[in-house]
Chains A and B, each alone.
Chain A
Amino acid sequence: MTGFPSKRHTQGFTLIEVLVAVAVFSITTVMAVNLFIIFVQQQRRTLNQQELQNDARSVMEQVAKDVREGSIDYEYYATAPLTTQKKLFSELSSQAGNDDCLVLRNAVNEQILYRLNNEIVERLVLTTPVTSAGCSSFTDWEKISPDILEVVNFTFTIAPTEDPFAAQAAQVCGTTTAPIIIPSDASCRWGTICLDPADSTCINERGGTCYCYPQKYGDVAPLHPRVTFSFKMSRTSNQQTISQTFQTTVASRLFKNLDRLNSYVP
């Protein structure tokens, strides 16, 4: 044997060395653990966000589909009992008994209503449309958003604000013998004229009387109905709450001006 290791070699570490080593080790470990936790949290957050997006998309698609395949129920909004708060631009209230609803009418004349009730979006289909009562009077609503999803806010804006398909009664705008009145904006609005600029005759004449068709589009030009709606939704999972606003605009694909013919397509 060549002998034992020197005394010096068996001395161990000094307190300082141990402290420094432990400190360095601790810092590294804490950082690593911290990093791990943050990554896990981040991953959960991403997962939660994805779930939120999935749920939100599902709800939005449902509403969008009904708007696309139908149109706005202008009749409902035009009939406004005093007790209701029906609005074309509305932030839906989550309170029970509120009459703010998004009301649509599908191609087979069923009424489709959406409301926000206790942070849940609900849908109702009425095969016989009701326009004389607010939507709070109806029952048997179907939940379309999952319970885990808190729908904090549901707003919608309908454009144009008046039914663009409404047939308007013709307005008298003079006679063929009397000087022709060029209709004011109030009687025959945008897009209608009484006198043909080419030959100064009535555009629409019947029995010596000239007529014009008022248009009640509510906007500058005739617009096909569309709805912009947004949801502010939040979802809590693993003590993490994510809140996000989802918004979309959907134009109706239902051409009601061809309705009379549509029902006769063989």
Chain B
Amino acid sequence: MPIANSKKRRGTALLESIIAIGVILTGVVGTLVLLNTSINLGRANQDRIVAQNLAREGLELAYSLRNSASMRKVDDPKTNWYKYLHSEVLKSSNPESYLRNYNLGEVTGGVCKQRSLIENTATRTTENNDQSFDGSAFTYGPGVTPEAALACDLDAFVNYLFETGWGPPPACMGAPTDITRGQYCDASGAYCMTEGPTDCDYNGEGGADIIDVTYLVNQFYLNTFQFGFGYPTLAGASGKVNGKLDFYSTLTADGTTGIYPQDPIWLDTRAQVYTDNAETTYVQNLSNITGYKQTKYYRVVSMQAICRGTKSVPTLQTVELVIDADNAFNCFDYISANNGSGEVAEDWDLDSISHVGVLVSSEVRWPTPTSSTKARYQEFLYDWISI
């Protein structure tokens, strides 16, 4: 009978033990790493959600700037929109013009003489108020002729054209030949208009019609847009203003102006996001950070100009360009300086250049034990009408 030889009972060799322990350790360590990674990833997910929210919020800054720009005049940001509206668009020198109504033109002897919105300059009373803009019934009183009350009343004009048969047409529409459509009479019937000018042909195509209302309203919008959508003054130096908000204003690589480093932006304390002690509100750029605590997040929002224009060679076509972030924010300056070379390879027609939008990038970075992670949003934002 075979007996197990002594060799078989000798136990494990050192090498075998090391291998066995090695295998076991690899398994154990692998498992622990897996565990650790899983927990870290879970945590990282939460960080990422916060970062993405902050990045998303950064985009809204550009919306806010764009919308706020509608409240100042493009070529003179210090002019307030209300003054501009009344003194330039509505052609009023009356400091209280915001209390007043506007006619489609100026009435002289029942004739609608001008094709723009003219303030009703008489002191506003219930008698003479022509109610151009508030839709209520017109009235007139001593010293105000029915023509003046009726003529060029925007409300009456719109009503006449869109709701034919409802209400009297304004004097500038001419005398009504069709009596059933509404005679120009006052409430007592004592005064009826028999004739009137035909001067509501705002687009000059030979008669007053529905297109004239649209034309007039569009004209108003056109004028108003001169006031709209300028861009805010972005900080910078040496004429190299770009859209990187004001983070560049103090930081330079070598302490001099003109060289703007990319990376130190992330070291700028203004890029850091803070939170209040209850951890309910995230804030950035606090001048006084007492009572707030640092978070791990840094946020930078940048804007690049989107320019549009035409080129005539070889054929007339539209061209669009997003200016590089480190270059100028002004479309005309940049394209006219670089036309035909580099990024502006196409030969643009210089008088066609317009600044139609901004490319907004909002980036949030935060350090992790091993690296830096980021969440980034980009959005093309149009209706940015300015030079």
List A residues at the B interface (Cβ < 8 Å): 3, 6, 8-9, 24, 31, 35, 38-39, 42, 45-46, 49, 53, 91, 153, 155, 157, 164, 167-170, 190-193, 203-206, 211, 213, 215, 221-224, 226, 228, 230, 232, 242, 244-253, 255, 257-258, 260-261, 263-266
Q: Interface majority SS on B: helix, strand, loop or mixed?
A: helix
Q: A49-B45, A215-B80, A247-B53 are in contact. Are A223 and B68 (CB under 8 A)?
A: yes
5 A-B residue pairings within 8 Å (CB atoms) = A8-B3, A38-B38, A204-B87, A206-B94, A245-B50
Judge whether B244 is part of the interface by a CB distance below 8 angstroms: no
20 further A-B contacts with Cβ under 8 Å, apart from A211-B95, A266-B158, are A6-B2, A6-B4, A38-B39, A91-B280, A167-B82, A168-B82, A190-B78, A192-B83, A206-B93, A221-B77, A222-B72, A223-B64, A224-B67, A226-B64, A244-B49, A247-B53, A247-B281, A251-B60, A258-B224, A266-B210
Choose one: B54, B64, B77; the contact of A224 (CB below 8 Å).
B64
Q: A6-B3, A257-B82, A264-B158 are in contact. Are A31 and B70 (CB under 8 A)?
A: no
Judge whether B31 is part of the interface by a CB distance below 8 angstroms: yes
Least CB distance from A151 to B in Å reads 11
Choose one: A39, A91, A224, A232; the contact of B71 (CB below 8 Å).
A224
Which residue of chain A has the shortest Cβ distance to B133 in the bound complex? A260
Q: Are A247 and B57 in contact (CB under 8 A)?
A: yes
Least CB distance from B338 to A in Å reads 31
Q: How far is the CA of A49 from the CA of B24 in the complex (A)?
A: 35
Least CB distance from A59 to B in Å reads 13
- The size class of the interface chain B forms with chain A is 35 or more
Contacts of B2 in A (CB 8 A): 6
Which residue of chain A has the shortest Cβ distance to B281 in the bound complex? A230
Least CB distance from B103 to A in Å reads 13
Which residue of chain B has the shortest Cβ distance to A215 in the bound complex? B80
Choose one: A211, A213, A257, A261; the contact of B220 (CB below 8 Å).
A261
Choose one: B39, B49, B224; the contact of A53 (CB below 8 Å).
B49
Q: Among B34, B57, B281, find the residue whose CB has the most chain A CB atoms closer than 10 A.
A: B281
Q: Are B34 and A35 in contact (CB under 8 A)?
A: yes
Q: A244-B49, A260-B133 are in contact. Are A169 and B78 (CB under 8 A)?
A: no
Q: Are A35 and B31 in contact (CB under 8 A)?
A: yes
Q: Are B71 and A9 in contact (CB under 8 A)?
A: no
Q: List B178-200 residues whose CB lies under 8 Å from chain A.
A: none
Q: Are B1 and A3 in contact (CB under 8 A)?
A: yes
Choose one: B34, B67, B83; the contact of A251 (CB below 8 Å).
B67
Least CB distance from A165 to B in Å reads 8
The 7 A-B pairs of least Cβ separation, nearest first, read: A170-B95, A211-B95, A224-B67, A222-B71, A251-B64, A224-B68, A167-B98
Contacts of B82 in A (CB 8 A): 167-168, 213, 215, 257
Judge whether B96 is part of the interface by a CB distance below 8 angstroms: yes
Q: A222-B81, A230-B282, A251-B60 are in contact. Are A261 and B217 (CB under 8 A)?
A: yes
Choose one: A153, A228, A264, A265; the contact of B133 (CB below 8 Å).
A264
Judge whether B154 is part of the interface by a CB distance below 8 angstroms: yes
Q: How far is the CA of A157 from the CA of B217 in the complex (A)?
A: 36
Contacts of B94 in A (CB 8 A): 206
Contacts of B34 in A (CB 8 A): 35
Least CB distance from B329 to A in Å reads 18
Judge whether B221 is part of the interface by a CB distance below 8 angstroms: yes
Least CB distance from B267 to A in Å reads 24
Q: How far is the CA of A249 from the CA of B50 in the complex (A)?
A: 14
Contacts of B38 in A (CB 8 A): 38-39, 42
Contacts of B54 in A (CB 8 A): 247
Q: Are B70 and A261 in contact (CB under 8 A)?
A: no
Q: How far is the CA of A266 from the CA of B224 in the complex (A)?
A: 17
Contacts of A170 in B (CB 8 A): 95-96
